[in-house]
Amino acid sequence: MNGRIRILILLICLSLIVTFPVQAYAKTKTEIQPVTDPTIEPKSYIVVDAKEGTIIASKDSHKALRVASTSKILTALAAVNTIGADQMVDVPKEASTVQPMKIGMKEGQKWGRDDLLHALLLTSANDAAYALASASAGNIENFEKQQNRIAKELGMQDSKFGDPSGLDDSLAVNGASLMSAYDLAIAGRAVLAQPLLSKIVSTMNYQFIGGDGKKHTLTNHNDTFLLGYPGANGLKTGYTQRAGRTLITSATRGDTTLIAVVLDVAQTDEWSARLLDAGFSTIQEGKVPRNATKLPSIGVIGSKANITILKSSKGQNGFIAKETTTNGDPTGWLSLPVISITIIVILFGLFFWRRRVIKQRRKKRRERALAAREAGRRKMIDVIDLTDERDSALISKP
């Protein structure tokens, strides 16, 4: 096989090996399509300015409904403020037996708090919710009271909490949680105000070694919206048969960050995009009424529930993880190293290929030069033939 072809094949193989993680973890960035039938609206929705708390648009926003796994953001708020960043979380029996979604935790294992928060918010793992709830309140049964205290201090008006994972069937611990779009918007603001949680909900992919000693790779269930809507940076998906599809989203344009909550509608991404677009246009055109209703202010709270919503969370000691965020790059930490390594591999390959080509050319030039000298020598031999008597006489003549 030709040397050049072998080198090209090698470079292609190296590029495929290096870029495989992108194919494994990244999804193509596509635009979210418009709502197909605007008459089929969410049962409830709300759009708010995350910074000011101003309500831009709403429909039945104080109606308490089943909201499925979107209620997990309150579980995360409680956990991040009651469980130490370096604390290992014990897995209770309830977590090991809860129905999926889950990441396969076993009773008696110990898992890192931040790992469980990622599993809770990215892949909506129910076993992570149960483990965090148990560690936060002492046991899962007590977590209901803690949730209700936190909700009251955040200024929520309509919600009643039960299962920490959002389950709403006969298997739910303490029954189903009921939340309004208004209260979910309050919780969403608190999540965006908390540095660690804000980072997690905008993360596309996350890898870590779990309490089972195995490597786990998480991909955000909200990836379609995060990749498809300009400026998207959160927040949380949810679905059960009783609640339908629910979604909390957030996005930033310029200095404005909006939060949209849609409950019980099939096209959650499409409706969220529609509502956010309208909200940004309303603000840009200066059409927000001066007397518009605002959500309760977010401050340092939690004397009764022993939480501080704005408390910063540091990384856990010995914590090793990789994250992919959505800050203008759908593949985050994967893309830059992969592209860089690929370019380096190709450049090195071209460098060595070029050196080989130059060496081959020099070798051929030397061979041609030697052949030319040999031909010249042979020509001289042909010109003076010592076997010819006339040439011999000329040479021997004094």
Q: Which residues does the annotation mark as catalytic?
A: 69, 72, 124
Report the alpha-carbon angle 366-370-372, nearest 5. 115
AA identity, residue 222: N
**φ and ψ at 204, to 5 degrees?**
-85, -45
Burial of 375 (0-12, 13-18, 19+ CB in 10 A): exposed
**For residues 79 and 73, what is the distance between their CA atoms, to the nearest angstrom?**
10
Instruction: Pick the closest to residue 84 from 142, 136, 37 (CA basis).
Output: 136
Q: What is the DSSP string of 70-94?
A: GGHHHHHHHHHHHS-TTPEEEPPHH
Give phi and psi for 53, each to the nearest 5: 80, 5
CA distance 131 to 107: 10
Q: Please state the φ and ψ torsions of residue 260, each to the nearest 5 degrees.
A: -125, 135
